[in-house]
Chains A and B, each alone.
Chain A
Amino acid sequence: MSTDNLPKKMDRRRLIKNGMQLTLGLSLVSIAGWSAFKSTSDRLVWQLDPFKCVQCGRCAKECVMTPSAVKCVHAFNLCGYCDLCGGYLKPDPNARTTAAENQLCPTAAIKRKYIEDPYFEYEIDEALCIGCAKCVAGCTSFGNGSLHLQVRHDRCKNCNECAIARVCPAEAFQRVPISSPYLIKGGFTKGKNG
């Protein structure tokens, strides 16, 4: 190959390179334009629908956090303040007391407080709660269902795809806008929000 062909060849290379750069640039611009229509300035966070939840216990195991960022919350407005609480006490307890042997919660995260005869208040200690949903199952089957699980956003890392959502058997996990990040029972009802 003679050397006087070289500049011409270099020009061809440059033309291809610039053409490709322009093509790629235009495709990026079109992606940007399309995304502008598809994107939202509101960020999305993960939350679980307590009405879909089947209390399988996977929230405790599958979260990338140890302990899980899913905790039990108590909708006090829905609570019956029962003495015989299906969420607090084991089935057929020896006595209705705060003794560890009677408690359903494996970490004793529910605090039982006497209010007045015959009513008791139940409060969750989130530092102890592991999100196993044992109490939720008890409360839902025998009580009002005021105990239920929620993703706690002060702990959740908001993974791109929630590790629990991937294995949730009831497809209860969904992305919700950051402006209304909770689906707490009472305010959130089955009929209203689907």
Chain B
Amino acid sequence: MRGLGKYLYQSESIVKLLKRFGFLLMMLFVTAQSFALDAQQRFPKPEFATGYAQPATTSPSPRFLLLEYLDIFVLLAALSVVTWFVLKKRSRKGVFWTSVFSLLYFGFYREGCICSIGAIQNMVLGVVDNTYKIPLTAFVFFLLPLVFSLFFGRTFCAGVCPLGAIQDIIVIKPIELPKWLQKVLGLIPYLYLGLAVLFVATKSEFIICRYDPFVGLFRFDAPFHMMMLGILFLATGLFVARPYCRFFCPYGVLLGWMSRFSSNHMTITPAACIQCKLCANSCPFGAINEPVVETGKRHSNVNRMITYFILLPLWTGIGGLAGSMVHVPLSHYNKTVYLAEQLIEHPELKDDQKNIDIRTFLTSGKTTTQLIAEADAIRHQFYIGGWLLGGFMGFVIGTGLIRLSAFRRRDDWETDKTNCLSCARCMEFCPVKRDEDGKITINER
């Protein structure tokens, strides 16, 4: 009975191995090795006299791969539907209900993971880490909204992104922030994007996921400070519409670049603008531009713009220098650098029995010299990254100044294509309507 049980167990593993490797040699090798392992055990497994049936070690499987592909399908479908609502139906209601669906599916059902914002990091990790293969879902979630944005504007933000949806639903009493404040706060996403890329490129951490304020709300489970951050964002969002999207979202930067040059971006009015100004206060995101005519002398305007163009490399250089100067504090966030610093600055910690990281390092067999060499290499990456990040920020500020100095003649009320989230609120306010047959009517209230 005993022997039979053992034989059965072995033959079962043989069948498994045959299935896996398909040839006998490998199987024999592995079996021999597992016998060798048994021999090393301190207390060999007993031979039971009673008919004891050993329970199996369970291994519950992860979510089916097929469901991952379902996510991709839902993403494509939601993007298509919301784009159709924005551009064809011009229906705020349609956009709203699509965003509710996305909030329920990508937010509460998928619990905020996978998301396009975080997928930036997978793409960067794919660049820097040769052993890392980007999962298909992450790659599609990164690319598809950008492609849609390049043609149709940021419809992803309007009705697909769960982080956007949860904020959009609670826009109760939006106040308009001063323009200068919007511009300054609008620089944060660039910095956030740059930092996120830097931290992934140095293989330090995924800050976008770590500081996602809403994922805890989707899961009803998060550390206290992250829960508070989420609630704080929502509370702010009652008055400052979609604060995360406008002043933090790093993916919004990329979407903005695409949307700026999009060919079929939504328009406030379906036909010619009648200059009624009804839409002026409809946008809670400050993304509607007034008509402008050039003021001042053209010659001095052009001169100012040329000056700013000449100053652009200077801004970039200053930014780069500033960035390189903060590379040391930034590198603290890398585990290896931090450990090396601890060992150098506080050698007494080597005797601290409670410091798990140092204890583990000391027993790992790696020498302190090796660790310091590793940390130095990582810190050098931060130095290069600091130059690039700072230079990028300088460049962003410089081009921002050029844009402020440039007068762009605008005859009608238009959306700011970079910052417009395609939420379709302004369309409701526009009295110009186009019915099913394409007939234009002007609603006179």
Contact = CB atoms under 8 A, between A and B. Distances in A.
A77 to B, nearest CB: 7
Interface core residue of B50, B54, B261 (most chain A CB under 10 Å): B261
Interface string A29-53: 0011001001111111100000000
Nearest to A73: B57
B143 A28 contact: yes
A110 to B, nearest CB: 13
Given A24-B257, A28-B150, A143-B42, A160 B113 contact: yes
Contacts of B57: 73-77, 184, 186
A80 B44 contact: yes
Contacts of B258: 24, 28
A56 B206 contact: no
B360 A54 contact: yes
A81 B45 contact: yes
Nearest to A156: B62
Contact of A116 (B50, B114, B122, B210): B50
B261 A161 contact: no
A143 to B, nearest CB: 6
Contact of A161 (B37, B44, B210, B294): B210
A132 to B, nearest CB: 13
Contacts of B357: 169
B134 interface: yes
A192 B30 contact: yes
A190 B180 CA distance: 60
B356 A56 contact: yes
Interface core residue of B33, B62, B135, B258 (most chain A CB under 10 Å): B62
Given A1-B298, A153-B62, A161-B209, A25 B150 contact: yes
Given A64-B221, A157-B219, A160-B121, A40 B147 contact: no
Given A1-B298, A116-B48, A161-B121, A39 B136 contact: yes
Given A40-B135, A181-B61, A144 B30 contact: no
Given A20-B261, A189-B34, A170 B364 contact: yes
Contacts of A24: 150, 257-258, 261
B230 to A, nearest CB: 13
Contacts of A25: 150
Contact of A78 (B45, B121, B123): B45
A159 interface: yes
B356 A21 contact: no
A143 B137 CA distance: 43
A39 B261 CA distance: 28
Contacts of A21: 150, 261-263
A76 B57 CA distance: 7
A175 interface: yes
Contacts of A166: 205, 210, 335
Contacts of B52: 115-116, 121
Given A78-B41, A157-B111, A43 B137 contact: yes
B55 interface: yes
B366 to A, nearest CB: 11
B49 interface: yes
Nearest to B356: A56
A116 B260 CA distance: 75
B135 A44 contact: yes
A173 B40 CA distance: 26
A17 B143 CA distance: 21
Contact of A43 (B45, B60, B68, B205): B68
Nearest to A1: B298
B429 interface: no
A64 B211 CA distance: 12
B126 interface: yes
Contacts of B222: 64
Contacts of A112: none
B222 to A, nearest CB: 7
Contacts of A119: 46, 48
Contacts of B210: 161, 163, 166
Interface in A117-156: 119, 121, 123, 143-144, 150, 152-154, 156
Contact of B42 (A18, A39, A80, A150): A80
A21 B49 CA distance: 77
A161 B55 contact: no
Contact of A56 (B63, B221, B360): B360
Contacts of A18: 263
B45 A160 contact: no
B185 to A, nearest CB: 25
B288 interface: no
6 contacts: A24-B258, A41-B136, A54-B360, A80-B45, A121-B52, A166-B205
6 tightest A-B contacts by CB? A80-B43, A161-B206, A154-B60, A40-B133, A153-B62, A169-B360
Interface of A: 1, 17-18, 20-21, 24-25, 28, 31-32, 35, 38-45, 54, 56, 58, 64-66, 73-82, 115-116, 119, 121, 123, 143-144, 150, 152-154, 156-161, 163, 166-167, 169-170, 175, 178, 181-182, 184, 186, 189, 191-192
Given A80-B41, A178-B62, 4 more contacts: A17-B261, A21-B263, A42-B135, A143-B42
